[in-house]
Amino acid sequence: MSDRSPIEWTNATWNPVRGCTKVSPGCKHCYAETFAERFRGVPGHPFEQGFDLRLVPKALDLPRSWRKGRMVFVNSMSDLFHEDVPDDYVERVFAVMQAATHHQFQLLTKRSGRMADFVALRAVPPNVWMGVSIEDADHRWRLDDLRRVHADVRFLSLEPLIGPTGTLDLRGIHWVIVGGESGPRARPMDPDWVRDIRAQCRRAKVPFFFKQWGGVHKSWKGRELDGRTWDEMPVIASARGCAKRNAA
């Protein structure tokens, strides 16, 4: 976890949970698992247990120590709504986010059903963005779960995009991120899949962020789509009532 991040759409990462298990084809070549397993058995390393799921209570208060406000990606190395993370621990994570009002937290999950059920009777703090990952049309149903979530910002991460998504119902969605898979076994992403999603975002007036083409050497392919980068962000309202928009 770090107060700096190479991920293009965030500033920092915070991992009060480490490790996960696969739930769908998008998990097949999980970057987090690949990274974590390199350190299995290394004494004292944060990933001494590899990618086995475990709670990290000592990391809970980390965002409070960052005085400058940041975009914080929650659990870049896990999934807060994994079935083995107890509800009371999820509550503790939400309590920290609610208290750290100088940050914007970006919470992303593939376990959209549990997320929607968890927040159904709870208020989502206004500085917490709620999102789901969708890798192809077969997992578009996660979008319906996301729409059940009452949050100021609801977003989609279509990464790794391993197939066309078909028509996305973007009602009530505030941001869409698209990215290809990276690494030595990366599955290719068709540019027309990306263009179709961009067109749907344009029609729905939803900010569109293109993260990467991916591949074995993702830096070689860059981030441009049709001659430019797409770094649109949603409107965000701070706890002090101001709003800003960073749109390409």
One-character DSSP codes across 113-172: HHHHHHHTTSPPPTTEEEEEE--SGGGTHHHHHHHTS--S-EEEEE-S--S-------TT
Residue 245's pLDDT is what? 38
* Closest-CA residue to 134 (of 114, 164, 156): 156
* Tokens coding 144: 């319906």
Would you state the pLDDT for residue 225? 96
- pTM value is 0.92
Q: Cis peptide leading into 63, omega within 30 of 0?
A: no
Per-residue pLDDT tens digits of the chain, which is 248 residues long? 566 688 889 999 999 999 999 999 999 999 999 999 999 999 999 999 999 999 999 999 999 999 999 999 999 999 999 999 999 999 999 999 999 999 999 999 999 999 999 999 899 999 999 999 999 999 999 999 999 999 999 999 999 999 999 999 999 999 999 999 998 899 999 999 999 999 999 999 999 999 999 988 777 888 999 999 999 999 875 332 323 333 33
Element (H, E) at 94: helix 87-99
Q: For residue 93, what are the contacts with CB-CB under 8 A and spacing of at least 6?
A: 16, 60, 74, 80
Please answer whether residues 200 and 219 qualify as being in contact, where contact means their C-beta atoms are separated by less than 8 angstroms.
no
| pLDDT value at residue 2 | 64
User: What are φ and ψ of residue 243, in 5° steps?
Assistant: -135, 150
The percent helix, strand, coil of the chain (3-state, each to 5) is: 25, 20, 55
